[in-house]
């Protein structure tokens, strides 16, 4: 999402990501099957407007390459962190499969199901109703479609966006009840549903494997305590529907590095984390309401013609650009009643 680009730039990675083919993203298109979608461009903010589409595998490879060449960093790939232990002298020891590392500060960034967060006893969730994703990549011929698309169907959304090399990430997002139909036939059912809802995929080639992920909603009792900090999905995750997980993680990492220079880094990071995540979590909750209430999708679509800026403003709240007061009471009423 565009809100992650300043942090990416600051890390010196933006040019490399762009030059290796990550396509720019214009915004979101959403709608119902067999109906024309509505387009919601990303709001402009401080010169940022476009997002970037990149596979996590390529992004991680570019990040690790940069880390490995950084003179101030000793980078160890393929090393498992097995536990964290707080020591009596105020230091923390990370136990890895390649030995122990002692440090004053430890950032735990091991993802949605964070085993280390669990070992610390900080995990909250997964909170029902459980949502899942089934995701794969497709090779598409023709010009790149620069929109992230969400297509709503009965109890399921198809969520897709372009990544480098004429590939498109296509995820099916659904609640537990629809997950059952994938039992024992993940790939065939995924292919069938994705191609039925997005007929353009019938001419596309499925590449790599199909994977299932979830449930999504996890939280933490705290994101910082006595030298240990949670960053990215490990610090809590609502749902991929707002597509800002990477941007949020990058911004949290930035906030942690700032917090380390404060007299009370744990308190500073907890505060910054709240600031960075409160409104985006609320926007994600609102989007989730849409997924459960088809009538709301219809109203949002109807309202968009009369008040096209409202949904862009809502995306801006999710990106942390401004607060909920950016949307006027009249716009809220229109969005929810369609009148």
Ligand X SMILES: Cc1cc2nc3c(=O)[nH]c(=O)nc-3n(C[C@H](O)[C@H](O)[C@H](O)COP(=O)(O)OP(=O)(O)OC[C@H]3O[C@@H](n4cnc5c(N)ncnc54)[C@H](O)[C@@H]3O)c2cc1C
Give one DSSP letter per residue of 257-281, joined into a string: HHHTTSSSHHHHHHHHHHHHHHHHH
Give one DSSP letter per residue of 117-171, joined into a string: HHHHT-EE-PPSSPEEEEEEEEE--SS---EEEEEEETTEEEEEEEETTTEEEEE
266 forms part of the interface with ligand X (CB under 6 A): no
Among 28, 40, 109, 174, binds ligand X (CB under 6 A): 109
Paired tokens of 121: 């006893």
Among 21, 111, 146, 219, binds ligand X (CB under 6 A): 111
Q: Which CB, 80 or 181, lies closer to ligand X?
A: 80
194 forms part of the interface with ligand X (CB under 6 A): no
CB 305 → ligand X: shortest distance, Å? 27
**Contact region with ligand X (CB under 6 A), list: 106-114, 177-185, 282-290, 303-311:** 106-114
Q: Which CB, 108 or 301, lies closer to ligand X?
A: 108
Q: Which CB, 31 or 53, lies closer to ligand X?
A: 53
Q: Which helix (H) or strand (E) holds 163?
A: strand 156-163
Residues 275 and 317: beta-carbon distance below 8 Å: no
81 forms part of the interface with ligand X (CB under 6 A): yes
Rounded-to-integer distance, Cα 162 and Cα 140, Å: 9
255 forms part of the interface with ligand X (CB under 6 A): no
Give one DSSP letter per residue of 205-220, joined into a string: EEEEEEEEE----BEE
Which residues 171-190 are close enough to bind ligand X by CB under 6 A?
171
Q: Which CB, 81 or 224, lies closer to ligand X?
A: 81
14 forms part of the interface with ligand X (CB under 6 A): no
Paired tokens of 149: 């698309």
162 forms part of the interface with ligand X (CB under 6 A): no
How far, in Å, are 20, 92, 147, 237 from residue 114 at the CA level?
Answer: 30, 18, 31, 11
HSE at residue 101, side-chain half, CA atoms within 13 A, is 17
Mask: binding to ligand X, 205-224, rule CB under 6 A, as x and -? Answer: --------x-----------
Residue with tokens 């404060």: 262
| Beta partners for residue 189, in sequence order | none
Rounded-to-integer distance, Cα 307 and Cα 105, Å: 48
CB 114 → ligand X: shortest distance, Å? 7
80 forms part of the interface with ligand X (CB under 6 A): yes
Among 135, 174, 220, 315, binds ligand X (CB under 6 A): 135
2 forms part of the interface with ligand X (CB under 6 A): no
Q: Which CB, 10 or 330, lies closer to ligand X?
A: 10
Nearest CA among 178, 208, 181, 186 for reference residue 57: 208
Residues 10 and 4: beta-carbon distance below 8 Å: no
The count of residues interacting with ligand X (CB under 6 A) is: 24
Among 23, 43, 162, 240, binds ligand X (CB under 6 A): 240
Q: Which residue is nearest to ligand X (CB)?
A: 245
246 forms part of the interface with ligand X (CB under 6 A): yes
233 forms part of the interface with ligand X (CB under 6 A): yes
241 forms part of the interface with ligand X (CB under 6 A): no
| Beta partners for residue 229, in sequence order | 107, 224
- 321 by DSSP, 3-state: which? coil
Q: Which CB, 174 or 335, lies closer to ligand X?
A: 174
Among 115, 186, 253, 260, binds ligand X (CB under 6 A): 115
How far, in Å, are 4, 253, 304 from residue 27 at the CA level?
Answer: 14, 25, 14
| List of residues contacting ligand X (CB under 6 A) | 1, 56, 80-81, 109-112, 115, 133, 135, 161, 171, 213, 232-234, 240, 243-247, 249
């Amino acid at each position: 999402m565009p809100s992650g680009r300043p942090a990416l730039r600051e890390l010196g990675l933006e040019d490399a990501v762009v030059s290796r083919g990550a396509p720019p993203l214009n915004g979101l298109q959403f709608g119902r099957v067999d109906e024309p979608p509505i387009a919601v461009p990303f709001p402009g903010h401080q010169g940022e407007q476009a997002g970037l589409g990149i596979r996590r595998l390529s992004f991680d490879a570019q990040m690790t390459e940069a880390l490995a060449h950084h003179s101030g960093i000793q980078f160890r790939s393929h090393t498992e962190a097995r536990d964290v232990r707080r020591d009596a002298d105020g230091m923390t020891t990370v136990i890895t499969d390649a030995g122990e590392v002692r440090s004053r500060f430890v950032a735990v960034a091991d993802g949605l199901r964070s085993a280390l967060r669990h070992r610390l006893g900080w995990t909250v969730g997964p909170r029902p109703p459980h949502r899942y994703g089934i995701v794969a990549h497709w090779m598409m011929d023709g010009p790149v479609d620069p929109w992230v698309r969400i297509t709503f169907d009965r109890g399921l959304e198809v969520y897709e966006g372009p990544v480098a090399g004429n590939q498109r990430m296509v995820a099916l997002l659904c609640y537990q009840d629809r997950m059952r139909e994938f039992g024992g036939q993940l790939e065939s059912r995924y292919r069938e549903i994705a191609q039925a809802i997005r007929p353009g995929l019938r001419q596309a080639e499925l590449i790599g494997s199909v994977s299932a992920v979830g449930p999504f909603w996890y939280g933490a009792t705290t994101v910082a305590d006595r030298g240990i900090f949670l960053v990215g999905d490990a610090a809590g995750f609502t749902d991929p529907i707002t597509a800002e997980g990477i941007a949020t993680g990058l911004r949290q990492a930035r906030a942690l590095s700032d917090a380390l220079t404060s007299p009370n880094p744990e308190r500073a990071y907890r505060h910054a984390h709240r600031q960075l995540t409160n409104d985006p979590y609320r926007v994600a909750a609102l989007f989730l309401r849409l997924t459960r209430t088809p009538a709301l999708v219809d109203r949002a679509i109807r309202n968009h013609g009369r008040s096209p800026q409202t949904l862009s403003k809502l995306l801006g709240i999710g990106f942390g650009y401004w607060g909920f007061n950016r949307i006027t009471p009249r716009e809220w009423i229109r969005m929810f009643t369609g009148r």
